A = this chain, B = another copy of it.
C-alpha cells in the first residue's frame, strides 16, 4: 500500500464525512426531494449508463466471465427502470432518524432525550451487480448517511456512470455530491477498512470468504454474516406432509441463499416414516443427499430412491455451507441432541423446527441461539422484505443488535441530548445531595 493510495482516500473520506454532516440536518421532506432528484437524474442518464454497461459486458465476454456473474453485471433498460423505481420506493420508507426513544426529566429544568441519528459514513463493498449502487445510495440518503462505494472491477464503467448520475442529481437538489463516492481499485478496499476515524459501518456484499476477510481486517463494525449454515429439525411429533413441503422449500427454493438449509435433522422415532417421503421429494427437485449411517440405513430400504445419489455424510458435512442443491441428513435421538447439533455447527442465522408438539416448539424456539428461530415454516422467510422492512441492508448473525435481517434502522444510531439551565453535578452529590426526579415525559 503506497501513500499515494492512502492520502487521496483520506481526503475523500473527510469530504464524505463533512457532506454527511450537512445531509444529517435535512428534514425528511428534503431528503425525499433529494432522492427524487437522484431518480430523475438516473432517468436522464439512461443512455449513458447502458452504454457504459455494454462496455463492461464486452470486457466480461472477452475475459470469459462466469455466466451467473455476467447475468448480474448486465443492466438493460428494463432492469435500470426497475432499479430507479426501487430508488423512488426508498423515499416512501419511514425516516429512521429523529425518533425520540427516551424522554426523561432528571430534575426540574434538566431534561434528557435519546434521539435517533444517522451513523455518519457507510463503507459498502460489493461485487459486480451495478444495480446495488442505486439501491444502496438511496438507502444511505434516506437514513442521512454518507456512503463510500467500492464496486467490483468488472462493473467499473457501469458504476462510474451510475455514480456520476447520482452525484448530478444530488447537486441539482442543492446538496453536496461528496455524500456519495465511488472507489474502484482493490488497494482502496484495504485502505477503506483502515479508515475507522471516518467510516462508521462496513457492509460487505460478496462471498463468505470475502466477508470473513473484511471482518478480520478492520476495526470498523461490520454488518453481515460469513456463513449461513441453517438447519431444519423434524421432531418426532412432526406432520410429515408439512415437514416435506418445508424441507423442499428451505433447500430447493433458492439453494445459494444464506437462509437455505444445509442439514436436515430428523428425530429417530419418526425417521423411518418421514425420511423416505422427504428424501423422495428432495430428489425430485434434484437435491443430492448426504446421510449419516442411520439415515443411509433407512433410505437404503426405500423404493424409488436413487441411492447412488446418497453419499455418506462426514463430520465435515455438518460444518459446510453447500450453497447448492446438496443436503446433509442426520438422525438424532432427541430434541436436546438436535439443539446441541445446531449449537455446535449452526452459524446462528436461521433454525427451524417442524412439530405439532407445542412444548417441543417452545423449547426449540427459546433454547436455540440464532437470529431467526422458526416453527413450522420455511427458513427462506428470513429476509428484510418478507419481514416487511421495505428494504434490507444485510443479515447480521452477530449477537449484538442489529441482528437478523436489518432494514433502514440498522443504518442509524442515537445520541443523548441533555438540556439544563446551569445544572451541575455537585448539587446532586455529597451531603445534602438533591435527589433526581427521574420522571418520564411523553415521547
Residues of A within 8 A of B (CB): 21, 24-25, 104, 106, 110, 112, 114, 119-120, 200-201, 215-216, 219, 221, 239, 242, 245-246, 248-250, 253, 361, 365-367, 369-378, 380-382, 386-388, 398-401, 403-405, 413-426, 428-429, 436, 438
Residues from chain B with Cβ under 8 Å of A221 in the complex:
398-400
CA gap between A365 and B420 in the complex, in Å: 13
Chain B: which residue is nearest A385 at the CB level? B436
**Are A388 and B422 in contact, CB atoms less than 8 angstroms apart?**
no
**Are A376 and B245 in contact, CB atoms less than 8 angstroms apart?**
no
**What distance in Å separates the Cβ of A209 from its nearest Cβ neighbour in chain B?**
16
**Are B418 and A413 in contact, CB atoms less than 8 angstroms apart?**
no
Residues from chain B with Cβ under 8 Å of A246 in the complex:
422, 424
CA gap between A246 and B388 in the complex, in Å: 47
CA gap between A112 and B219 in the complex, in Å: 33
**Are A245 and B422 in contact, CB atoms less than 8 angstroms apart?**
yes
**What distance in Å separates the Cβ of A163 from its nearest Cβ neighbour in chain B?**
24
Tell which of A110, A369, A376 has the most Cβ of chain B within 10 Å. A369
CA gap between A195 and B372 in the complex, in Å: 23
CA gap between A106 and B381 in the complex, in Å: 10
**Are A400 and B106 in contact, CB atoms less than 8 angstroms apart?**
no
**Are B249 and A381 in contact, CB atoms less than 8 angstroms apart?**
no
Given contacts A370-B415, A403-B415, A413-B399, contact A425 B388 (CB under 8 A): no
Further pairs besides A216-B219, A250-B424, A380-B425: 16, Cβ < 8 Å? A106-B381, A106-B386, A106-B388, A120-B369, A201-B399, A253-B425, A253-B426, A253-B429, A369-B415, A374-B420, A375-B419, A376-B422, A377-B418, A377-B422, A387-B416, A404-B414
**What distance in Å separates the Cβ of A26 from its nearest Cβ neighbour in chain B?**
11
Pick 29 A–B contacts, CB within 8 A, sort by A.
A106-B387, A120-B369, A201-B399, A216-B219, A242-B422, A249-B424, A253-B424, A253-B426, A365-B419, A372-B416, A373-B417, A374-B417, A374-B418, A374-B420, A375-B417, A376-B419, A378-B423, A378-B424, A380-B424, A381-B418, A381-B423, A381-B425, A386-B436, A388-B436, A401-B401, A401-B413, A401-B414, A403-B413, A403-B414
Tell which of A372, A376, A415 has the most Cβ of chain B within 10 Å. A415
Residues from chain B with Cβ under 8 Å of A417 in the complex:
365, 372-375
Residues from chain B with Cβ under 8 Å of A25 in the complex:
366-367
**What distance in Å separates the Cβ of A345 from its nearest Cβ neighbour in chain B?**
12
Tell which of A371, A373, A429 has the most Cβ of chain B within 10 Å. A373
Given contacts A215-B219, A403-B415, A415-B373, contact A388 B104 (CB under 8 A): yes
**What distance in Å separates the Cβ of A234 from its nearest Cβ neighbour in chain B?**
13
Residues from chain B with Cβ under 8 Å of A367 in the complex:
21, 24-25
**What distance in Å separates the Cβ of A407 from its nearest Cβ neighbour in chain B?**
11
Chain B: which residue is nearest A20 at the CB level? B369
**Are A415 and B24 in contact, CB atoms less than 8 angstroms apart?**
no
**What distance in Å separates the Cβ of A364 from its nearest Cβ neighbour in chain B?**
10
**Are B376 and A425 in contact, CB atoms less than 8 angstroms apart?**
no
CA gap between A129 and B148 in the complex, in Å: 44
**What distance in Å separates the Cβ of A400 from its nearest Cβ neighbour in chain B?**
5
Chain B: which residue is nearest A377 at the CB level? B420
CA gap between A242 and B421 in the complex, in Å: 8
**What distance in Å separates the Cβ of A221 from its nearest Cβ neighbour in chain B?**
5
Residues from chain B with Cβ under 8 Å of A219 in the complex:
215-216
Residues from chain B with Cβ under 8 Å of A245 in the complex:
422, 424
**Are A413 and B425 in contact, CB atoms less than 8 angstroms apart?**
no
**Are A416 and B404 in contact, CB atoms less than 8 angstroms apart?**
yes
**Are A425 and B386 in contact, CB atoms less than 8 angstroms apart?**
yes
Residues from chain B with Cβ under 8 Å of A104 in the complex:
387-388
